Amino acid sequence: MSTQPSEISITRALDELVLIDKRIQKKVTEVNFITSISKKNKSFINPEQFEQNAKSDWQ
């Protein structure tokens, strides 16, 4: 198993950085970190769905 890093061009590396940045920005705007539930005001999503979404967003 080789530990030597692979070589890529500067252009390719910058393209990958832009792509990764776009993915991060998309996830940050989509993720729902917190929600609330009360007897008067029900949450927009059920707790099970919130938990499933939170776990998938964490990965």
Instruction: Give the domain ranges of the chain.
Output: 10-58
The pLDDT of residue 28 is 82
In tens, the pLDDT along 17-52 reads 999 999 989 888 877 666 666 666 665 667 777 778
Could you give the CA distance from residue 7 to residue 41 in angstroms, rounded to a whole number? 55
For residues 12 and 15, what is the distance between their CA atoms, to the nearest angstrom? Answer: 5
Confidence of residue 6 (pLDDT cuts 50, 70, 90): confident
How much is the pLDDT for 14? 95
State pTM to two decimals: 0.50
